[in-house]
A = this chain, B = another copy of it.
């Protein structure tokens, strides 16, 4: 839709499919990125600032998946690209989803390596 300078094309939120979103969030790398964005202040962030242990081209792939799933907005600015969560739009379309996934993931992380039972 939007064709602002450097803005990469994204689907209208109304066209975004829940299955596509769940698939996008199913991947650990992508979920980590989204989690990182959610815990931020909503400001734009450099794509290069995410510590993903994967090749450049693979990263490009994941950003595309997240973009096409309606989760992020991406902008090309000279030598780098920047992303921003489509927070409000997304919440309006899929109320609570981001919060729930975030909360669960946060618990998972804080609970990692503290298993008394075994």
Contacts and interface: CB of A to CB of B under 8 A. Distances in A.
Contacts of A103: 95-96
Most B-side CB within 10 Å, residue of A20, A26, A27, A105? A26
Copies in the complex: 2
A25 interface: yes
18 contacts: A18-B104, A18-B108, A19-B27, A19-B28, A19-B31, A20-B26, A22-B22, A22-B23, A22-B26, A22-B101, A23-B23, A23-B26, A26-B26, A95-B100, A96-B96, A96-B99, A97-B100, A97-B104
Nearest to A115: B14
Interface residues of A, number: 24
A95 B96 CA distance: 12
Contacts of A50: none
